[in-house]
């Protein structure tokens, strides 16, 4: 009897080793939405976490004056609107009385043609004056709306002339005091350092069942998962696919190189 002995060698799957730099979750270049002269740049804020602090100020003196005058114009127009509404209300009563008088006298056989014509003329004049005032009211309302829109535009411009990051890392300022910027000009590079990411370039076989695989960082098992995978090969690494793993923000350890394995 032949005894068939099957020697089964254990199958080991070796994961490819990657090295990834700890990067901020997002990096954005702020660009100007307005034009103007840069009057102040907070150079001391560069390289720090900024929240609610103005780091770039574009000249807005004229905009502030314009906004102040526009708001005053709105007040005056609304006063004029109120006065004309009172006039219209008074004229409405006059029109009604003149109409009643005309209707009454036009039916009297004893009233002369001149009396009837005068009554009609008074009624017609009162109505024309009333309609003219109503038209002025409509015009004033339109002017108030236009002024309010202008004020909103100026307020929006003023906001855009002060660059105030909220809880962002100011990586680099790209303008200096005295520069003139136009819409689209680069102002600063800011980063969202509230969390971090590791960028990897994976081979096609590594992507199989990627959602079920475990991430090891510096040879330690973690609960992290590959958060995002590009399904089109990278332009630079043409046989690889970009992937990102999202991790908590480290303490002063951005740019640190970590060993990453996915298996």
Distance CA 220, CA 223 (A): 10
Indicate the pLDDT class of residue 251, thresholds 50, 70 and 90: confident
- Could you give the number of structural domains in the chain? 2
Q: Supply 98's token pair.
A: 């003149």
Same domain, 215 and 235: yes
What's the pLDDT tens digit per position in 162-213? Answer: 999 988 889 999 999 999 999 999 999 999 888 889 999 988 888 888 888 8
State the residue range of the domain holding 223.
17-59+166-262
Same domain, 115 and 184: no
Same domain, 27 and 82: no
Same domain, 184 and 134: no
Same domain, 131 and 248: no
pLDDT of residue 239: 82
Q: Is residue 39 part of a domain?
A: yes
pLDDT of residue 204: 87
Residue 105 near residue 111, CB atoms below 8 Å = yes
Same domain, 174 and 244: yes
What's the pLDDT tens digit per position in 45-83? Answer: 998 889 899 999 999 999 999 999 999 999 999 999 999
Phi/psi at 89 (5° precision)? -65, -40
Q: Is residue 8 part of a domain?
A: no
What's the pLDDT tens digit per position in 75-117? Answer: 999 999 999 999 999 999 998 998 888 888 888 888 888 888 8
Residue with tokens 């910027």: 181
Q: What is the dihedral of CA 79, 83, 84, 86, to 10 degrees?
A: 140
| In the predicted structure, residue 129 carries a pLDDT above the cut 90 | yes
CATH number at residue 254: 2.40.50.100
Same domain, 175 and 245: yes
Question: If you count DSSP H runs as helices and E runs as strands, how many of each does the chain have, helices first?
Answer: 2, 13
Q: Supply 131's token pair.
A: 């309609």
Q: 224 to each of 18, 33, 202, 248, 249, how far by Cα in Å?
A: 15, 39, 16, 10, 13
Indicate the pLDDT class of residue 9, thresholds 50, 70 and 90: very low
Q: Is residue 71 part of a domain?
A: yes
Q: Is residue 7 part of a domain?
A: no
């Amino acid at each position: 009897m032949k005894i068939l002995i099957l020697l089964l060698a254990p199958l080991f799957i070796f994961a490819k080793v990657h090295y990834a730099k700890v990067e901020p979750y997002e990096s954005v270049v702020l660009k100007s939405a307005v034009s103007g002269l840069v009057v102040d740049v907070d150079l001391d804020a560069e390289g720090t976490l900024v929240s609610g602090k103005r780091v770039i100020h574009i000249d807005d003196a004229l905009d502030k004056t314009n906004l102040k005058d526009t708001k005053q114009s709105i007040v005056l127009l609304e006063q004029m609107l109120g006065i004309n509404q009172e006039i219209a209300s008074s004229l409405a009563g006059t029109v009604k009385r003149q109409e009643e008088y005309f209707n009454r006298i036009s039916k009297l056989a004893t009233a002369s043609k001149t009396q009837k014509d005068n009554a009609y003329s008074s009624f017609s004049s009162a109505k024309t004056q009333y309609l003219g005032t109503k038209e002025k009211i409509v015009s004033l309302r339109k002017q108030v709306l236009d002024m309010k829109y202008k004020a909103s535009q100026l307020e929006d411009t003023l906001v855009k002339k002060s660059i105030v990051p909220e809880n962002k890392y100011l990586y680099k300022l790209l303008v200096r005091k005295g520069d003139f910027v136009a819409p689209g000009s680069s102002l600063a590079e800011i980063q969202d350092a509230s969390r971090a990411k590791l960028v990897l370039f994976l081979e096609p076989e590594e992507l199989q069942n990627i959602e079920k695989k475990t991430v090891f960082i510096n040879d330690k098992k973690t609960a992290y998962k590959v958060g995002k995978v590009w399904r089109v090969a990278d332009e630079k690494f043409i046989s690889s696919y970009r992937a990102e793993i999202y991790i908590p923000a480290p303490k002063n350890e951005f740019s640190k190189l970590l060993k990453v394995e996915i298996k």
